[in-house]
Amino acid sequence: MTFAMHNLQEIDARTLKQWMDQHEVLLIDVREPQEFAQSHIPEAKLMPITKFDPAKVPRPQGQKIVLQCQSGKRSTQAAHQMLQAGFSNVIHLQGGLAAWKAAGYPTQVKQSINMLRLAQILTGSFVLFGTSLGSTLTPLFVILSIIVGGSLVLVGVSND
């Protein structure tokens, strides 16, 4: 065990929640952007481990810096980088986001539509649009529905 490891502190989710409620902490999430978008602790600042640079970590006065990831492994790596860069008393959330969720604390989720659902909505709209216009204006619009339907069949059969 090196000297730097002696300065690495672990806290549990309850302690982090108390500190956050008292505005005593800067929480840094070191997961990747897509993980962060799916679910994150409110007020967490994203600094992915793949681009993590201790020199870019803010040093707010009067606040503790806590690192967090999904389970605690990446936040431990980031904490060691910070200790090697000269930070003292680096803290990370033991058990990470999983522990936070297990304790029943809230997370924020980015509400976005996934690509498959978007494709289904657009495809259905084209078929509906083509069929509606084909039955009211001119039968030529039915060709739009035939093209879209045929494309779906082709993609399904080819398994691409």
For the question of residue 69 being annotated catalytic, the response is yes
Question: In the beta sheet, which residues pair with residue 9?
Answer: 91
**From the CA atom positions of the chain, what is the Rg in Å?**
25
Q: Tell me how far apart the alpha carbons of residues 129 and 125 are, in angstroms, rounded to a whole number.
A: 6
Nearest to 100 by CA among 18, 160, 158: 18
Catalytic residue selected from 11, 69, 78, 90: 69
Nearest to 90 by CA among 71, 58, 66, 68: 66
The residues carrying an active-site annotation are: 69
